[in-house]
């Protein structure tokens, strides 16, 4: 599903964010990306959704070489990738259901499909009864669930989550994790950047450790 | 895709107006103010131009004729003058008419004319021309005709006047260009601020896989609406203010030439609406583009 070959990423201020990254993530895998702040986790995720291009090397996502992808085709790549952020990035002037529907509208879904899909994902994350309220009235955990609902509404092949439990208490974090496991079981490849030792250890999934832009450890059923 | 979703884009643009009412009103009022200034200057320059044209139209060539001109020669000369391109009107003033004019001009002093036995004034043609710049060329051409004693057109005054109107027009155009340029900058910055307030939305849309046109379209429509509403508003204010003001000016200075026909002012209204709408569209298009690269 995702392959990286000898990938380097340097930023204009000469910071080497990633160095000689080689990795293969298979379809349906759940991968934790761990490492200290500045280790290159976010850069790793950005390369996958083509927020940036590699300075050197190749990044192949679902058979597409993202460095060669023309700007006009980026939206079509992203329709196969759901993204969940630590800071949610929700639209607070719109209702819960509108936060999901506007993303679906953006990818050309019909009104009928949008209604069906919004209902389905809100049920999945347990926010069906809060569909008509504004996100600022939701708790932190609920906002993150909404963010996940929006990311999976389009039924993407890959779900990228950047520290989704970073601001949540352990109980809510585990709720989110269970939701992500559930999504993963349905076939979605998940890459989760995390600092959350407790969750990583408890999950017993593949752990890729980054340090100063390099992969220093890649373990199946690993710990933090 | 663009046209399929037109309804959605319009709905989104109108919803965004509603969601950020204060921001939209502030933007519309600011753009209206800028366009009012541009429109005000346009009105002044149109009137100034009319005033200058009026001044220039008073330039004329007087062709004095020899006393011994025959009727046939006079008729030939009239035909010759009329055949010159660039001439608006040719008026013949006979010796008698010239004498009467002088007598009228002298008023109470007209008695001094009785001391003169014979009418000393020559017959003449008063020529009005279409383009004041051609005055010298036409005057030179007329000088060559037979039975023409002298041609007078106030060369120095004409040159000075033409220089004056030329400088005035150029200065006006320069100021107008600067004003339009700065208004474009200010309006696009106002639009940029409204787009900046919604950069999150643009980023999210881009991340969920919306095409750039899908993201841009509602913003472009919103920018157009902001520009259009502002320009229509400023045109209405400007026209009302203008006709109120010229009424007052006419009462105070009745002979001052002013543009009073609404049709003559139509191009100004159209220019303001076009300027507002176009800058609204382009400003939002470029501003959204800036936040699309995520």
Model ipTM value: 0.85
- What would be the CATH architecture of the domain defined by B60-152? 2-Layer Sandwich (3.30)
The pLDDT value given to residue A137: 95
- Out of A51, A71, A106, name the one closest to residue B205 (CB): A106
Q: Stretch A199-210: mean pLDDT, rounded?
A: 91
**What pLDDT, in 10s, does the model give residues B251-286?**
888 778 888 888 888 999 999 999 999 988 988 888
**What pLDDT, in 10s, does the model give residues B62-112?**
999 998 888 899 899 999 888 888 888 899 999 889 988 888 888 777 777
**B153-186 burial by CB neighbour count: b if 16+ within 10 A, else e?**
beeeebeebbeebeebeeebeeeeeebbeebbeb
* Position B35 confidence tier, pLDDT thresholds 50, 70, 90: very high
The pLDDT value given to residue A101: 92
> Do A156 and A79 meet the contact criterion of CB atoms below 8 Å apart?
yes
Res A223 pLDDT > 80: no
> Do B284 and B222 meet the contact criterion of CB atoms below 8 Å apart?
yes
- Strands in chain A per DSSP E: 2-10, 16-25, 30-34, 56-61, 64-65, 81-84, 158-162, 189-193, 206-211, 214-219
B9, B204, B213, B215, best to mutate vs chain A, most A CBs in 10 Å? B204
Q: In whole angstroms, what is the distance from residue B102 CA to residue B100 CA? A: 5
- Position A145 in a domain: no
Res B287 pLDDT > 80: yes
CB contacts, 8 Å: B211 with chain A:
72, 75
- Both tokens assigned to B22: 């204060």
Interface of A with B in 175-214 (CB under 8 A): none
pTM confidence score: 0.73
Q: Stretch A111-123: mean pLDDT, rounded?
A: 93
Count: domains in chain A: 1
Q: In whole angstroms, what is the distance from residue A89 CA to residue A154 CA? A: 17
**What pLDDT, in 10s, does the model give residues B4-22?**
678 878 888 888 888 888 8
How big is the A-B interface in CB pairs under 8 Å?
Answer: 51
Pairing verdict, β A189-193 and A158-162: parallel
**Mean pLDDT of all residues belonging to chain A:** 91
| Interface contact B208-A105, CB threshold 8 A | no
**What pLDDT, in 10s, does the model give residues B139-167?**
988 888 888 889 988 777 878 888 888 89
The pLDDT value given to residue B4: 65
Nearest CA in chain B to A48: B207
**What pLDDT, in 10s, does the model give residues A7-21?**
999 998 888 899 999
pLDDT above 90 covers what percent of chain A?
A: 65
Q: In whole angstroms, what is the distance from residue B106 CA to residue A94 CA? A: 86
Q: Stretch B221-239: mean pLDDT, rounded?
A: 93
Convert chain B into a string of H (helix), E (strand) and C (coil).
CCCCCHHHHHHHHHHHHHHCHHHHHHHHHHHHHHHHHHHHHHHHHHHHHHHHHHHHHCCEEEEEECCCCCHHHHHHHHHHHHCCCCEEEEEEECHHHHHHHHHHHHHHHHHHHHHCCCCCCCCEEEEEECCHHHHHHHHHHHHCCCCEEEEECCHHHHHHHHHHHHHHHHHHHHHHHHHHHHHHHHHHHHHHHHHHCCHHHHHHHHHCCCCHHHHHHHHHHHHHHHHHHHHHHHHHHHHHHHHHHHHHHHHHCCCCCCCCCHHHHHHHHHHHHHHHHHHHHHHHHHHHHHHHCC
Nearest CA in chain B to A81: B208
The pLDDT value given to residue A170: 86
Domain with A163 in it = 2-80+156-219
- Position A193 in a domain: yes
Q: In whole angstroms, what is the distance from residue A131 CA to residue A146 CA? A: 10
- How far is the alpha carbon of A38 from chain B, nearest alpha carbon, in Å? 19
- Position A36 in a domain: yes
Res B294 pLDDT > 70: no
- Out of B8, B208, B211, name the one closest to residue A103 (CB): B208
Q: In whole angstroms, what is the distance from residue A20 CA to residue A56 CA? A: 9
| Interface contact A103-B19, CB threshold 8 A | no
Q: Stretch A152-162: mean pLDDT, rounded?
A: 92
B6, B13, B207, best to mutate vs chain A, most A CBs in 10 Å? B207
Name the one residue in this structure whose structure tokens are 């076009």. B274
Decide: residue B266, CB within 10 A, 0-12 exposed, 13-18 middle, 19+ buried. Answer: exposed
The pLDDT value given to residue A87: 84
Q: In whole angstroms, what is the distance from residue A127 CA to residue B130 CA? A: 80
- Position A53 in a domain: yes
The pLDDT value given to residue B242: 93
* Position B288 confidence tier, pLDDT thresholds 50, 70, 90: confident
**What pLDDT, in 10s, does the model give residues A34-84?**
999 889 999 999 999 999 999 999 999 999 999 889 888 999 999 999 999
| Interface contact A78-B294, CB threshold 8 A | no
* Position A116 confidence tier, pLDDT thresholds 50, 70, 90: very high
- Position A136 in a domain: no
**What pLDDT, in 10s, does the model give residues B177-193?**
998 888 888 888 888 88
> Do B9 and B213 meet the contact criterion of CB atoms below 8 Å apart?
no
CATH of residue A73: 3.40.50.300
A106, A108, A148, best to mutate vs chain B, most B CBs in 10 Å? A106
Domain ranges of chain B: 6-55+162-292, 60-152
- How far is the alpha carbon of B251 from chain A, nearest alpha carbon, in Å? 55
Res A161 pLDDT > 60: yes
- Position A143 in a domain: no
Res B130 pLDDT > 80: yes
Interface of A with B in 70-99 (CB under 8 A): 71-72, 75-79, 81, 83, 89, 91, 93
- Both tokens assigned to B9: 């884009």
- Position A173 in a domain: yes
Name the one residue in this structure whose structure tokens are 């926010």. A127
- Position A9 in a domain: yes
How far lies A131's CA from each of A118, A122, B12, in Å?
A: 9, 8, 19
């Amino acid at each position: 599903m995702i392959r990286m070959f000898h990938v380097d990423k340097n930023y204009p201020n000469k910071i080497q964010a990633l160095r000689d990254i080689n990795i293969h993530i298979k379809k349906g895998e759940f991968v934790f990306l761990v490492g200290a702040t500045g280790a290159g986790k976010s850069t790793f995720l950005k390369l996958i959704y083509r927020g940036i291009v590699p300075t050197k090397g190749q990044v192949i996502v679902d058979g597409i070489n993202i460095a060669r992808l023309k700007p006009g085709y980026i939206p079509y790549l992203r329709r196969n990738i759901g993204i969940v952020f630590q800071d949610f990035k929700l639209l607070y002037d719109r209702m819960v259901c509108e936060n999901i529907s506007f993303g679906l509208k953006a990818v050309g879904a019909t009104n009928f499909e949008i209604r069906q899909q919004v209902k389905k994902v809100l049920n999945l994350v347990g926010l069906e009864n809060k569909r008509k309220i504004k996100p600022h009235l939701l708790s932190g955990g609920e906002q993150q669930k909404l963010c996940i609902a929006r990311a999976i509404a389009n039924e993407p092949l890959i779900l990228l989550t950047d520290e989704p439990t970073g601001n949540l208490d352990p109980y809510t974090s585990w709720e989110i994790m269970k939701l992500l496991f559930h999504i993963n079981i349905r076939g979605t490849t998940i890459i989760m950047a995390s600092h959350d030792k407790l969750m990583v250890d408890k999950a017993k999934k593949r752990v890729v450790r980054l340090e100063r832009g390099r992969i220093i450890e890649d373990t199946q059923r690993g710990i933090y | 895709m663009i046209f399929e979703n037109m309804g959605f884009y319009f709905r989104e643009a109108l919803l965004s107006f509603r969601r950020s009412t204060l921001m939209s009103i502030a933007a519309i009022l600011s753009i209206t103010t800028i366009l009012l200034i541009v429109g005000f200057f346009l009105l002044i320059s149109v009137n100034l131009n009319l005033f200058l044209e009026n001044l220039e139209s008073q330039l004329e060539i007087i062709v004095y004729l020899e006393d011994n001109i025959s009727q046939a020669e006079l008729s030939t000369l009239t035909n010759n003058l009329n055949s010159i391109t660039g001439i608006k009107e040719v008026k013949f003033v006979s010796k008698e008419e010239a004498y009467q004019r002088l007598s009228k001009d002298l008023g109470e002093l007209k008695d001094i004319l009785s001391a003169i036995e014979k009418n000393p004034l020559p017959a003449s043609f008063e020529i009005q021309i279409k383009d004041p710049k051609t005055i010298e060329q036409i005057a030179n051409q007329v000088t060559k005709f037979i039975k023409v004693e002298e041609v007078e057109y106030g060369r120095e005054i004409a040159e000075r006047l033409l220089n004056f109107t030329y400088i005035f027009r150029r200065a006006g155009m320069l100021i107008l260009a600067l004003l339009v340029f700065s208004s474009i900058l200010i309006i696009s910055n106002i639009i940029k601020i409204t787009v900046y307030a919604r950069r999150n939305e643009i980023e999210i849309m881009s991340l969920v896989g919306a095409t750039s046109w899908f993201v841009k379209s509602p913003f472009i429509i919103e920018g157009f609406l902001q520009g259009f509403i502002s320009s229509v508003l400023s045109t209405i204010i400007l026209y009302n203010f203008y006709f109120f003001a010229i009424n007052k000016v006419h009462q105070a200075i009745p002979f001052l030439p002013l543009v009073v026909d609404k049709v003559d002012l139509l191009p100004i209204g159209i220019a303001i609406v076009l300027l507002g709408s176009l800058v609204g569209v382009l400003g939002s298009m470029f501003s959204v583009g800036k936040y699309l690269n995520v």
